[in-house]
């Protein structure tokens, strides 16, 4: 079994990866600064779940602190999952400096500490936001990257640092471009979370734009499986992989699916499009399929049913 550091391990995706790997018998070290960008209580609940699932410890630390990263990521560490980030496309439009500090400088610190510690691999969480302007669909990894938000720019820079640390310094890295991940413990500021909670109590919901914009939604279990497949995998060194469902759905159709599941009477209100929001996303996951055998299993209606059940409970 391996010793694995997971930055951002109190967050949505990071806590699921940590819980799963801990249950598999790995020694897990969660690094998180419990930033109050959203409820710290939710993050603490995530932590409790992970700490009860196996050999796991928590260190309250910030990836922007290089000395601290070097202290935590030492020669006893085998792998690093770098999930820590300032998320949120819209918030990055309001304040482009915070995502740059955390997502770019923070990634650089994690990479430098990992290089010095001679870890076997750094798995970096990236985002479909790096694509931005659509030239064609589905997005394959060769699609031009023209982000339309500071968040997308920061994630693209982090990816490129990972690639360079592999090509120049020989540190094995893989970046995964996640496509709109959802499921239990998801951030409360994401659309599916907001819609579900309002629809369960028949409150009106607001859609930005006309609702015909489409998203490739990826269920958390598929994302965790993709991450686990990167352990001891050398074929992905230096690579960037799409991790999505390979399908897309309009926001209006998403709401109709949720309406059927929740039996909701919620009214839908439409508002102006938000700056930085992508118009359409759709992943081509062939490369991930070829290199790690990735095959998304949870289709959207089934995933929404599982999520709604979790919210109710």
* pLDDT (tens digit per residue) in 177-187: 999 999 999 99
Q: Which residues sit opposite 73 in a β-bridge?
A: none
For the stretch 106-144, pLDDT in tens is 999 999 999 999 999 999 999 999 999 999 999 999 999
Of 287 and 90, the one with more pLDDT: 287
Distance CA 162, CA 235 (A): 15
Under 8 Å between Cβ of 132 and 148 = yes
How would DSSP label each residue in 209-240?
SSS--EE--EEHHHHHHHHHTTTT--TTTTEE
Q: Which residues sit opposite 125 in a β-bridge?
A: 176
- Residue matched to tokens 């967050």: 11
For residue 275, the model assigns a pLDDT of 85
Distance CA 268, CA 289 (A): 38
> What is the bridge-based pairing of β-strands 268-271 and 218-219?
unpaired
Nearest to 17, CA basis, from 110, 76, 115, 84: 84
pLDDT at 176 over 90: yes
Percent of the chain clearing pLDDT 70 (strictly above): 100
pLDDT at 278 over 90: no
Establish whether the linkage from the previous residue to 73 is cis, with ω within 30° of 0.
no
pLDDT at 79 over 90: yes
Residue from 131, 151, 161, 307 carrying the catalytic annotation = 151
Active site residue 270: no
> What is the bridge-based pairing of β-strands 268-271 and 205-208?
parallel
**At the fourth CATH level, which superfamily is domain 3-181+219-245+283-297?**
NAD(P)-binding Rossmann-like Domain (3.40.50.720)
Q: Could you tell me the residue ranges of all domains in the chain?
A: 3-181+219-245+283-297
């Amino acid at each position: 079994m391996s010793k694995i550091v997971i930055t951002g391990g109190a967050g949505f995706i990071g806590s699921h990866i940590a819980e799963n790997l801990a249950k598999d018998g790995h020694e897990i070290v969660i690094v998180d600064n419990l930033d109050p960008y959203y409820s710290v209580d939710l993050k603490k609940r995530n932590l409790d779940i992970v700490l009860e699932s196996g050999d796991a410890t928590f260190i309250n630390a910030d990836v922007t602190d290089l000395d601290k990263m070097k202290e935590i990521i030492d020669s006893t560490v085998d792998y690093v999952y770098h999930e820590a980030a300032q998320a949120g496309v819209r918030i990055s439009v309001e304040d482009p400096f915070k995502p740059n500090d955390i997502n770019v400088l923070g990634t650089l610190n994690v990479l430098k500490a990992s290089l010095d510690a001679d870890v076997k691999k750094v798995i970096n969480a990236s985002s479909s936001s790096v694509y931005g302007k659509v030239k064609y669909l589905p997005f394959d990894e060769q699609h031009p990257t023209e982000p339309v938000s500071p968040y997308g720019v920061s994630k693209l820079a982090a990816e490129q640092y990972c690639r360079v640390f592999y090509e120049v310094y020989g540190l094995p890295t893989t970046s995964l471009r996640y496509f709109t991940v959802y499921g239990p413990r998801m951030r409360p500021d994401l659309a599916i979370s907001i819609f579900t909670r309002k629809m369960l109590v028949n409150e009106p919901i607001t859609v930005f734009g006309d609702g015909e914009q489409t998203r490739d939604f990826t269920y958390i279990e598929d994302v965790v499986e993709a991450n686990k497949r990167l352990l001891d995998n050398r074929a992905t060194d230096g690579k960037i992989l799409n991790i999505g469902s390979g399908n897309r759905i309009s926001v209006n159709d998403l709401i109709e699916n949720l309406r059927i599941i929740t039996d909701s009477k919620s009214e839908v209100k439409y508002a102006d499009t938000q700056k930085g929001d992508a118009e359409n996303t759709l992943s081509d996951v062939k490369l991930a399929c070829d290199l790690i055998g990735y095959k998304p299993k949870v289709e959207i209606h089934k995933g929404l049913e599982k999520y709604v059940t979790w919210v109710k409970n």
